[in-house]
Chains A and B, each alone.
Chain A
Amino acid sequence: MIDKNDKSAIIRMFHVHKNYGSKKALININLDVSKNEFIFITGPSGAGKSTLMKLLYLGEPVSEGQILIDGMNLSRIARKRIPLLRRKLGIIFQDYKLIPTKTVFDNVALVLEAMGKKRRFIRKKVNSVLRMVGMEKRFNALPQSLSGGEQQRIAVARAVVGMPKIILADEPTGSLDPESAGAVFDLLKGFHARGGTLLIATHDQELIRKTGCRAIHLKEGRQVSK
């Protein structure tokens, strides 16, 4: 009975629809992402890339269909267990979503604090992740004093610090110059190399061509084959 493909799928979407009121943002999405896969979601602006991500971290409920992530059925999940789902995920938001009143260090540390990690561990881990994104010197800065690219690197640091199984990255290199984009991308590749599953939403075709990984194309909310 054990289906090899089934066993290795960490994200499964069955006939997923998403409506915002009468606006159909996603129409009949079917998608399997296997463990340790590196997959792109592409499509023009407004195609529904961010919406698809939102469904995966329960930022929005699905209108129709089913989503399974690492054995959890998102339409059946109890409210209390939503944090558990989100701890499996490292999310890089398109608009970063850094807490403006907290320092860079505290923003990143928050993930580990919410997990109940020890302070010593948190300090070591956060410092090492900030070093990886090249922001260790700015640990005490507030987000609004950083450039867009710097904020994005903090968002990446926060996404990887909790050692999630899956990273959902919405335009992770969107506002970076080629050099820091390359650095962030290397960081994500490193995460993939350590066994993580990576889902990147982008309209950067160059990036996709370079890696040669699978890409899902969206157009006006539908999956299209290219």
Chain B
Amino acid sequence: MIFFFKRAFQDIRTNKFLNTVTIITIFLSILIVSALVLFFLNTNDYMNSWKKGIRIIAYLKPDIVEANLVDIKNKIQGLYGVAEAEFISKEEAMKRLREQMKRQSSLLDGLKENPLPDAFEIRLAGRSSNIENIENMAVQLESLPEIDDVEYGRKWIGRFVKLFDLFRLTGYAMSGIFFMAAVFIVVNTIRLVIYSRREEIEIMRLVGATDRFIKAPFYIEGIIQGALGGIIGLAVLFAAFLYIATNVEYGLSSGLLHVRFFSLRLSGTIILCSMLVGWLGCFISLRQFLKE
């Protein structure tokens, strides 16, 4: 095993140029794919926190008596996807309105009677906050006899979520394409490496080397190249991330946009993936070569 590693390193040294090309190929692919993944990770975070903020307001009919409130609350909380329902009395609603209006709140003093209805403010459970669920919930709420009207940002939520889904789908597709392109390029550079060494391989076979013996250093090389390409790719991405993150957060200077890098585990997975790219590239080109 040590021997195979030694041979692999020796091979890398003697084939510097093609090995560098392979590493750069893997590095660029990993950089592009993980930049995409990072972008979607952060926008997804942002979307989720935004979705969590989505509230559905269910206004109650004016003639509801207080004794029924617990009953209604239970009914609402029994619906699928509801995290919590909070009762907002019309007095509470008025208070909030006053706070929102601040100075102009004196305008409200003129009112003889509180015109606001009692309401329940409903928060959605994290997972269920896709647009279909929200619409479903609204329909179910409206069908309750005690509820007069339901309000949520129907149209623009729908549009926004759909746009984002489309966006994300494109991202997945692009990541997939880049992954395949990386494998394809690695297959071809390794094929060049093998081709430049076909004489050596042929001689090895003639003196009694098994295919396994011949292939092992190539696999080790491929995996090392994958690891190096992956590590460099992540490092460059991290540097770019730090640069952009400090500027963006400074520029917006609101806790609104909090960006993050990959977790250690995800970074590890990405490096494993890039090793897989190296391995797969070797596997495909070696299988073609040693078959004839």
Contacts and interface: CB of A to CB of B under 8 A. Distances in A.
Nearest to B15: A101
Contacts of B206: 57, 59, 86, 91, 93, 97
Nearest to B214: A114
B208 A87 contact: yes
Given A86-B208, A87-B208, A119-B3, A114 B213 contact: yes
A111 B3 contact: no
A83 interface: yes
A110 B3 contact: no
A216 to B, nearest CB: 23
B203 A83 contact: no
A184 B140 CA distance: 97
Contacts of B205: 82-83, 86
A114 to B, nearest CB: 4
A193 to B, nearest CB: 24
Contact of B207 (A100, A119, A158): A158
A6 interface: no
A54 B210 CA distance: 19
B14 interface: yes
B236 interface: no
Nearest to B11: A101
A114 B204 CA distance: 8
Contacts of A86: 205-208
Given A101-B14, A119-B3, A114 B200 contact: no
A113 B203 contact: no
B212 to A, nearest CB: 9
Contacts of B207: 86, 91, 110-111, 114, 158, 162
A77 interface: no
Interface string A77-112: 000101110110101010001111110000000110
Contacts of A83: 205, 208-210
B187 to A, nearest CB: 23
Interface string B199-231: 110011111111001000000000000000000
A151 to B, nearest CB: 13
Contacts of A89: 208
A83 B207 CA distance: 8
A141 interface: no
A91 B202 CA distance: 14
B91 to A, nearest CB: 87
B200 A101 contact: yes
B14 A110 contact: no
Contacts of B208: 83-84, 86-87, 89, 111, 114-115, 162
Interface string B168-209: 000000000000000000000000000000011001111111
Contact of B204 (A84, A93, A110, A162): A110
A99 B3 contact: no
A86 B204 CA distance: 11
Contacts of A97: 203, 206
Residue from B3, B208, B209, B210 having most chain A Cβ neighbours under 10 A? B208
29 contacts: A59-B206, A83-B205, A83-B208, A83-B209, A84-B208, A86-B205, A86-B206, A86-B207, A86-B208, A89-B208, A91-B206, A91-B207, A93-B206, A97-B206, A98-B203, A99-B199, A99-B200, A99-B203, A99-B204, A100-B200, A110-B207, A110-B209, A111-B207, A113-B3, A113-B213, A114-B209, A115-B208, A119-B3, A162-B208
Given A84-B208, A102-B200, 7 more contacts: A83-B205, A93-B206, A101-B200, A113-B213, A114-B204, A114-B207, A162-B207
- Interface pairs A-B: 4 shortest CB-CB: A114-B209, A86-B208, A87-B208, A83-B210
Interface of A: 57, 59, 80, 82-84, 86-87, 89, 91, 93, 97-102, 110-111, 113-115, 119, 158, 162
